[in-house]
Amino acid sequence: MYDHYSGALYGVILRIVQSKEYTEEVIQDVFVKIWNSIHQYDSTKGRFYTWMINIARNTAIDYLKSKGFQNELKNQPLPDFVYNTAELSTHNTSSDFIGFNNVIESLETDKQELINLAYYQGYTQNEISEKLKIPLGTVKTKMRNALMKLKDLLKDYQ
């Protein structure tokens, strides 16, 4: 399983945590979670790959929000932090295994922003509403439209 899926999961995690060191730590946690919760996978609800991607995404976001990670960022010297962030930015194409960046870029700018905030930065819809200063109902509608458009664009990848 690791040989078949680690590359794709690594790319998703790297895009979220933006650090190779942290990505390696998170991917280990992801495979442990998959192993321990394999009995919860239900093939009638979706593909195995999608289920694993969701576990990876959620684990990476949880890691970013953890107190340990936040404290580590506070204790990191500024020059090293700036250097690492620039080197491993989200525009790193080496983590784009299926050309997903091109698919996202084909969406309208507002839809790209919603997808980025929700799925790569871990914002809730309430937090997006506050950050963008738009009503929660508008966020929900735009997010639904963005996901439907994304689903339409990705139908050829199945």
At 23 the three-state DSSP class reads: helix
Find out whether 125 and 140 touch, Cβ atoms under 8 Å. Answer: yes
Task: Tell me the pLDDT band of 1, cut-offs 50, 70 and 90.
Answer: confident
Q: Which two tokens stand for residue 33?
A: 């979670």
- Decide if pLDDT at 20 tops 90: no
Find out whether 139 and 114 touch, Cβ atoms under 8 Å. Answer: yes
Q: Which residue has the higher pLDDT, 94 or 119?
A: 119
What domains can you pick out in the chain, each with its CATH number? 1-97 (1.10.1740.10), 98-158 (1.10.10.10)
At 108 the three-state DSSP class reads: coil
- Decide if pLDDT at 158 tops 80: no
